[in-house]
Structure 1
Amino acid sequence: MKPVHSLPGLAVTREGTRAVIRALPEEVPVAVSFDGTTLAVMMCSPADIADFAHGFALSEGVIDRLGQIESFEVVEHPNGIEARFWLAGDRSEALKARRRQMTGPVGCGLCGIDSLDEALRPLPHVGQPAIALTRAEIAAATETLRGHQPLHDQTRAVHAAGFLRPGEGLVLAREDVGRHNALDKLIGALARGGSDASAGAIVLTSRVSVEMVQKAAMARSAVIIAASAPTAHALRLAEEAGITLAAFARAGGFDLYSHPDRIDTGDAHVA
């Protein structure tokens, strides 16, 4: 399935109308199943599906490590894609705790969740990984991420999540029509590539909502850098989980919130 389709439209301006062909991102239902039972159906960009599925399994707590996966396959159907996991050992309790039926829009990360308690589940503390970033690295992060978004360049309609490693720059990025999906794809790509998420920062093109902090914490990533704002509760969760949160990172500056000690701002505080 192609992630982009060129389709006709009619551009209407003050000067009149004209026929146009626009590159539009595709979105398809992706069913993630474990041991023969579908856990979630998400609307996704049909690219990097294996990364998405593995990241989803990790960020939702279905598995703790890739070694708990016995086998995996991606199966395309006429109406969508199925990502099938078969797990080693008994993971039934983890599956029950994170059971969802998510067929809602891509912007919703909590559609159909069974319990209010599960929506705000306790998060692991990310600890004190040996990571330090400079002011310049944070300030340039989202602009650098823009250079790793070929799907966005074509369509202007997708989100991205990237991984910034101190001293090396942005080393990995994934895109999707859904910001949650883009982050899951990134988490999955890091895990499948054997990279430690705690050794760098997650960079987002979107706002920082509760579920974005939850996914970062489950991946044990200690720094989030975002182009837009956090919600108040997302900030509270980041503080509790030990995550450094830098928001409004654009135009050479950023706002620094929780756990600022991992960032070398380079100068004294200006009131």
Structure 2
Amino acid sequence: MKNYFMTIIQDKRIGKRVDIKKRHTQQFRVFECNTDTCDPISMDLIGEEPFLIRIEDHPYSVVMRTPGNEIWHAAGFCLGEGLVNRPEDIRTIGYDVDLDPNVIDIWLTKERKNKIGHLLKRKSFVSQTSCGICGKEMLKDIQSSVQPAPDGFKLSLDRAMTCIAALSKNQKFYQRTRGSHAALLFGPDGETLAFAEDVGRHNGLDKAVGKAFLDHTLARARILVLSSRISYELVQKAARARIPVIISNSRPTALAATMGKSLNMTLAFPVGEDQIMVVCGEHRFIHNSNYMRGIS
């Protein structure tokens, strides 16, 4: 069987394989909070960056992923999309030295390209160019269109824990199927504004925000509780809705944390029945004289 990976090095259009600094995880300074203290600690968050897959020198799809194994990722994506059926359908695959390391170029055999021409014509996944596909560019784009979250709202650890408990109680679909995500919006006084469940975490958030938006109550939203990990897309959606606080059941990604901090948002997640980790925006948590040590 043809060793198709050898063509990564031999094909001049693809160029030599490049060494990229892997960003699987990123270390952040967070705050470990309980009812008495809130101390700064270091914590690793999973990496999240955009990944552009180019087919026959044209952008085909951008996906969010953890950096690493880009060639495997691109090959698996192409198989799943029906662009290839076997390894031999790929003429070359690899990094282009003239492009961002978050880009993989794939060239198909002539026979395979003729068979899936209708798929290549779609190219409805992406309109981005081949360069500048990185987290920093995404942050700049969002910061240019979304204002930082306003200060003024404060919450206690007890309020945060009460909101988390309310999410579980409302998840009727999850209780029956163990297969849904949920989003719950609270107002400044802890009142419920909207709740929604969906098989997709983005859909659940869109539904909850959409309800509050149509009910003309979205302007009162202060806390968003999610059943899922906080990704950059969810931070972006919350920022657009002007919601300053996101609490989830899992750690945010590194890109989500960076974005949340840049937009003056509070991102947090529970680590027990009476403890919470605050990744950014710790100034919104109510504290006494001994609380929030290390915050400057």
The normalised TM-score by structure 1 is 0.54
The Cα shift of 1:140 comes to 2.7
Counterpart of 1:239?
Answer: 261
Question: Are 1:112 and 2:135 matched, yes or no?
Answer: no
| Distance in structure 1 (CA, Å) of the matches to 2:260 and 2:126 | 22
Which range moves more in the overlay, 246-255 or 175-184? 246-255
Partners of 1:142 and 1:250 within 8 A in 2: no
Partners of 1:208 and 1:226 within 8 A in 2: yes
2:223 aligned to which of 198, 201, 223? 201
Task: Mark the CA change 1:178 to 1:250 in structure 2 (over 3 Å): closer, same or farther.
Answer: farther
| Distance in structure 1 (CA, Å) of the matches to 2:252 and 2:138 | 17
Which range moves more in the overlay, 233-242 or 115-124? 115-124
Partners of 2:227 and 2:249 within 8 A in 1: yes
* 1:126 alignment partner AA: P
1:226 aligned to which of 227, 248, 256? 248
Counterpart of 1:122?
Answer: 142
Question: Are 1:183 and 2:205 matched, yes or no?
Answer: yes
The Cα shift of 1:261 comes to 1.4
Counterpart of 1:210?
Answer: 232
Counterpart of 1:251?
Answer: 273
For the residue of structure 2 that corresponds to 1:229, the secondary structure is: coil
The Cα shift of 1:248 comes to 3.1
Count residues in correspondence.
161
* 1:179 alignment partner AA: R
Which range moves more in the overlay, 259-268 or 182-191? 259-268
| Distance in structure 1 (CA, Å) of the matches to 2:153 and 2:265 | 12
| Distance in structure 2 (CA, Å) of the matches to 1:199 and 1:153 | 26
For the residue of structure 1 that corresponds to 2:280, the secondary structure is: coil
Residue identity over aligned pairs, in percent, reads: 30
* 1:131 alignment partner AA: F
Q: Deviations over 1:213-267 (max 9, x none)?
A: 1111111111111111011111000011111111236523210121211111455
Counterpart of 1:268?
Answer: 291
* 1:140 alignment partner AA: T
| Distance in structure 2 (CA, Å) of the matches to 1:137 and 1:164 | 11
The Cα shift of 1:185 comes to 0.7
Task: Mark the CA change 1:197 to 1:158 in structure 2 (over 3 Å): closer, same or farther.
Answer: farther
More helix, by proportion: 2
Partners of 2:180 and 2:200 within 8 A in 1: yes
Gaps of 5+ in 1: 1-110
Partners of 1:226 and 1:249 within 8 A in 2: no
| Distance in structure 2 (CA, Å) of the matches to 1:263 and 1:269 | 9
* 1:237 alignment partner AA: M
Structure whose CA Rg is larger: 2
For the residue of structure 2 that corresponds to 1:221, the secondary structure is: coil
| Distance in structure 2 (CA, Å) of the matches to 1:148 and 1:209 | 22
More strand, by proportion: 1
Task: Mark the CA change 1:180 to 1:169 in structure 2 (over 3 Å): closer, same or farther.
Answer: same
Over aligned residue pairs, what C-alpha RMSD do you find? 2.4
Task: Mark the CA change 1:179 to 1:264 in structure 2 (over 3 Å): closer, same or farther.
Answer: same
Partners of 1:164 and 1:202 within 8 A in 2: yes
* 2:206 alignment partner AA: D
The Cα shift of 1:119 comes to 5.3
For the residue of structure 2 that corresponds to 1:122, the secondary structure is: helix
2:190 aligned to which of 165, 168, 184? 168
* 1:238 alignment partner AA: G
The Cα shift of 1:181 comes to 0.6
| Distance in structure 1 (CA, Å) of the matches to 2:173 and 2:157 | 28
| Distance in structure 1 (CA, Å) of the matches to 2:293 and 2:263 | 28
